[in-house]
Amino acid sequence: MIFVPLPFVVALLLAILLIRMLRQGDGSFAEKRPFLLLIGFYIIQSVVIGIRWGYDIIDIMPLQSLMATMIAALAWVCFKGLAMEEQPTLSRFWPHLLPAAAIVIFIALYPEPISLAIILIFIAYGIALLWLARRGPDALVASRLDGAVLSYRSLQITGFALIASAVTDIVISFDFTQAGGIHAGAIVALGNVIALLILGTAASVAGNGSTMDAASSEPPPPPPATEEDGAVAAALDALMHARQLYRDPDLNLSRIARKMNLPARRVSMAVNRIHGMSVSQYVNDLRIRSACEQLVTTDHPVTQVMFDSGFISKSNFNREFARLNGESPTQFRKRRVPRESGGAASNVIFMSP
């Protein structure tokens, strides 16, 4: 029987995830691109781990160390790109090539500190990601609002996973010191396989912005609102209703802030303090109210209503609809629209939920 290391199976699953992302033509390839690259690195690393621990080929260890370092840095670059109002450029992130360069130097000249260096790199980037997540979903100003909460969850998961990977490396090092590494293979098979699956799924969610179901993130209690907060919130309300910006599926906080000529953080603070919610929740509420009106006053299919309201993910649409109305869109329509032979009645007056 042919022996197939478990990491190879993980690489196959991640490859399927990558293909699914590539086939989803939702017009957001530029946002996905860094995460597609990140998942590609996860696939290569999983194959390398399978070769090293499945077939005990030690010569591939330098590549494994280099890939691990690049993955940590690339994860930070991907999520930091979602937190930037301006278009990220390679020149902005070149310092994050330095950890990989340091590993290359260690490999060539002095291999002993490599394990410690990788542990420190993973811990540093894990903490940096969790620090980036401290402001909640609105920190990811370039993420589509349809999936900002999911991207935020992915950010948190990736930060914790990097730190967990560092802890796994510490355990492996301890095993080599105390027991000659007899348990190292099992630890790697369990720890890295789980970590790569979690990281790959998180990258897929963040890159798509809307492929999984998740609970809405409740922001922390806001400080008292100021007059300026009220003015910003009122201007945002006027902009949303006058131009129906919420119907744009690619809308994000950065784009809203540019239209208002304000910093993204200023807009986020005003929405949080006045409405007690994140910007993504605020926009999704407007989208759901628009969907309710369409469900009652038109006979458009639910899928068309979803797209017309600004959603591109059925799971997100159904989740947000249930959050506000306590039922599915189909149930909502059946209860409020009297059915005649031709379909939805056209004279029903819409009442905001």
Model pLDDT, residue 175: 65
Across the range 279-287, mean pLDDT stands at 92
Model pLDDT, residue 352: 40
As a whole number of angstroms, the distance between CA 230 and CA 66 comes to: 51
As a whole number of angstroms, the distance between CA 295 and CA 78 comes to: 38
Model pLDDT, residue 344: 45
Model pLDDT, residue 29: 55
The 10s digit of each residue's pLDDT in 306-344 is: 999 998 888 888 988 998 899 999 999 988 766 543 444
- Cβ contact 157:202 at 8 Å: yes
- β-partners of residue 344 are 339
| Predicted confidence band of residue 349 (pLDDT cuts 50, 70, 90) | very low
The 10s digit of each residue's pLDDT in 248-282 is: 988 999 999 999 999 999 999 999 999 988 898 89
Q: What is this structure's pTM?
A: 0.78
| Predicted confidence band of residue 138 (pLDDT cuts 50, 70, 90) | confident
The 10s digit of each residue's pLDDT in 187-239 is: 655 565 566 556 666 565 555 544 333 344 444 556 677 889 899 999 999 99
Nearest CA to 67 among 14, 31, 114? 114
Burial of 194 (0-12, 13-18, 19+ CB in 10 A): middle
The number of angstroms, rounded, from the C-alpha of 203 to the middle of its chain's C-alpha atoms is 6
The 10s digit of each residue's pLDDT in 19-29 is: 877 776 554 55
Q: Which residue has the higher pLDDT, 4 or 153?
A: 153
The CA-based diameter of the chain, rounded to the nearest angstrom, is 81
pLDDT of residue 73 exceeding 60? yes
Q: How far is CA 316 from CA 33, 67, 287, in A?
A: 22, 34, 11
Model pLDDT, residue 295: 92
Model pLDDT, residue 213: 38
Give the whole-number percent of the chain exceeding pLDDT 90: 33
Chain mean pLDDT for the chain: 80
pLDDT of residue 3 exceeding 70? no
Nearest CA to 86 among 211, 264, 236? 264
**Pure H helices in the chain:** 6-23, 29-49, 61-82, 90-93, 98-109, 114-132, 148-179, 184-208, 227-243, 253-260, 264-275, 279-297, 302-309, 314-325, 329-336
Give the whole-number percent of the chain exceeding pLDDT 70: 76
Spatial CB neighbours of 279, under 8 Å, sequence gap ≥ 6 = 137, 138, 145, 148, 253, 256, 267, 268, 271
Model pLDDT, residue 2: 54
Model pLDDT, residue 108: 94
Model pLDDT, residue 283: 93
The 10s digit of each residue's pLDDT in 82-128 is: 888 776 666 678 889 999 999 999 999 999 999 899 999 999 999 99
Model pLDDT, residue 238: 92
Across the range 138-153, mean pLDDT stands at 83
Q: How far is CA 258 from CA 19, 125, 264, in A?
A: 34, 30, 8
As a whole number of angstroms, the distance between CA 147 and CA 324 comes to: 17
- Cβ contact 155:140 at 8 Å: yes
What DSSP designation does 348 have? P
Q: Which residue has the higher pLDDT, 171 or 277?
A: 277
